[in-house]
Structure 1
Amino acid sequence: MEPLIKIEHMYKIYNPGDDEVRALDDVSMEIQRGELTAIIGHSGSGKSTLMNMLGCLDIPTSGKYFLNGKDVFSMTDNQLSDIRNQEIGFIFQGFNLIANLDALGNVELPLIYRGIDKKTRQELSREALRMVGLEPRIHHKPSEMSGGQQQRVAVARAIAAKPPIILADEPTGNLDSHSTEEILQILKGLHEAGRTVIIITHDPDIASQTDRVVQIKDGKIEKDYWNEKE
């Protein structure tokens, strides 16, 4: 079976020459459909740079990236934008919610950009908020919610359009232990429903709850292993 994601000999080099920094240094990897994968590393390891490549938010100095068999780096800016809108749901550490919109409005916003009609996008948004357990707070604004609730709104926003890939960058970094566990359970549920979920993290405890761990150090893949399940 063709992998969902295939990266070949990817480099991201800043300041080429004597003082160059290799944020990614000859990275090759594959991710199959339906995997629950953690990409783990310390600050400066290259994991965030790799996330930006996987999410089509940046392009490498050299190398190839195939998503669903398509050569991503041969695409135009508009084609890359379509990939980000239709194939990938992003969850960020900082929530990135609009302060003057309620939960429903925040989840709806990307669907407006996709040209989805009002009735359909409200149905999709309500369904996504229900999935993350926030239906009772659908008309609350971010300032009226806890950090964990705000992140659940961000998760709902990422999944409302039913993208096949969920890319979560330190999704629990600003949360307490209870909220962290809630978000992890939601991500695991998405995986069990058939989504491909990739979590970028520095936390070994979070990585231990995924199926596969890709460990990055100094821009290189240091380890790539499967967690043993009980």
Structure 2
Amino acid sequence: MEKTLIQLKDICKVYNPGENEVRALDHINLEIMEGELVAIIGQSGSGKSTLMNMLGCLDVPTSGSYYLHGQDVSHLKDNELSAIRNKEIGFIFQGFNLIANLNAVENVELPLIYRGIGKQERRKLAKEALEMVGLGHRMDHKPSEMSGGQQQRVAIARAIAAKPPVILADEPTGNLDSASSKEILQILKDLHSGGRTVILITHDDKIAEQAYRIIRILDGKIESDRKNDKILESREEIK
């Protein structure tokens, strides 16, 4: 039986309360199940980035509740949110956010240090993650010695090394050419096939169409939430 991973109940995020207030999120209700591959799509200013920050425990709502694995995380303090992010969520951003003077394996190890994982175990997890994204042969290379696609793969390895249940990918192909974009999307699909919950945030319909469920956001509200019949049908044919 499918388990609910994420549940948003009547979530609002209001900036500048009063007559000039901006409702970045306006009474959002949403459920995401464990093991889903979901795309959240919206143009600039639609509220999708605010929603991503909410899902990633980077921000808290003005009102409403957010349950992650059944725990209400909507009113936690910064240090408590940080602990949840560290344990539950792997982030992949458009800018790769790699440390220039560290090589690939050291970049992947960084979040594991914050989790208190010992040196040997850390190195093992980092190497496994780099091998998973096809970079076993580039572990000693620094970001400046890699292409954009390879840097993004290091960023993905960093996000998955601690085996978090949720992967949150914010415009993960935004800085990449089409060939590298395909590679990155395939890695995300493979992670999903391996049991991770993957949430893709994008403004691009072509990227959103790679997901099994597409949620469209407009003016801080969910405009539509649908299963992607094209992908689901092709999956049935493969079976």
* 1:156-203 Cα deviation digits (max 9, x unpaired): 000000000000000000000000000000000000000000000001
Q: Tell me, in whole angstroms, the C-alpha distance in 2 between the residues paired with 1:12 and 1:81.
A: 20
- Are 2:3 and 2:34, in contact at CA under 8 Å, matched by a contact in 1? no
SS at match of 1:194: coil
The equivalent residue for 1:45 is: 46
Q: CA deviation at 1:16?
A: 1.3
Equivalence for 1:65? 66
Cα distance in 2 for partners of 1:66, 1:122 equals 33
- 2:7 and 2:68 in contact (8 A); partners too: yes
With the length of structure 2 as denominator, give the TM-score of the two structures.
Answer: 0.95
1:179 alignment partner AA: S
Alignment of 1:1-230 (within 5 A): 2-228=3-229, 229=232, 230=234
Cα-to-partner distance string for 1:72-127 (whole Å, 9 max, x where unaligned): 02333322111100100000000000000000000000001111000000000000
2:237 equivalent in structure 1: none
Conserved? CA contact 2:60–2:75, under 8 Å = no
Match of 1:140, SS?
Answer: coil
Task: Name the count of aligned residue pairs.
Answer: 230
Once residues 77 and 188 of structure 2 are traced to their aligned partners in structure 1, the CA distance between those partners, rounded to angstroms, is 31
SS in 1 for 2:4: coil
Q: Distance in 2 between matches of 1:7 and 1:227?
A: 22
Distance 2:58 2:173 in 1: 21
- Structure 2: which amino acid aligns with 1:57? L
TM-superposition CA deviations, 1:127-180 (whole Å, max 9, x none):
000000011110000000000000000000000000000000000000000000
CA drift of 1:15 comes to 1.1
Give SS of 2:31's match: strand
Q: Distance in 2 between matches of 1:73 and 1:27?
A: 13
Structure 1 residue 2 displacement after superposition: 4.5
- Unaligned runs of 5+ residues in structure 2 are 235-239
Whether the aligned pair in 1 keeps the contact of 2:94 and 2:170 (CA below 8 Å) is yes
- Tell me if the contact between 2:5 and 2:32 (Cα under 8 Å) persists in the aligned partners: yes
TM-score (norm 1): 0.98
- Note if contact 1:2-1:69 (Cα within 8 Å) is conserved in structure 2: no
In structure 2, distance between residues paired with 1:173 and 1:209: 15
Contact 1:14-1:22 at 8 Å conserved across structures: yes
Question: SS of the residue aligned with 1:30?
Answer: strand
RMSD (Å) for aligned C-alpha atoms: 0.8
Letter in 1 for 2:182: E
Unaligned 5+ runs, structure 1: none
Residue identity matched to 2:46: S
Look up the SS of the partner of 1:4 in the other structure. strand
Q: Is the 8 A contact 1:165 1:196 kept in 2?
A: yes
Distance in 2 separating the partners of 1:168 and 1:24: 19
1:35 touches 1:197 (CA, 8 Å); kept in 2?
A: yes
What is the one-letter code of the residue matched to 2:168? Answer: L
Deviates more, 1:203-212 or 1:70-79: 70-79
Identity of paired residues, percent?
Answer: 69
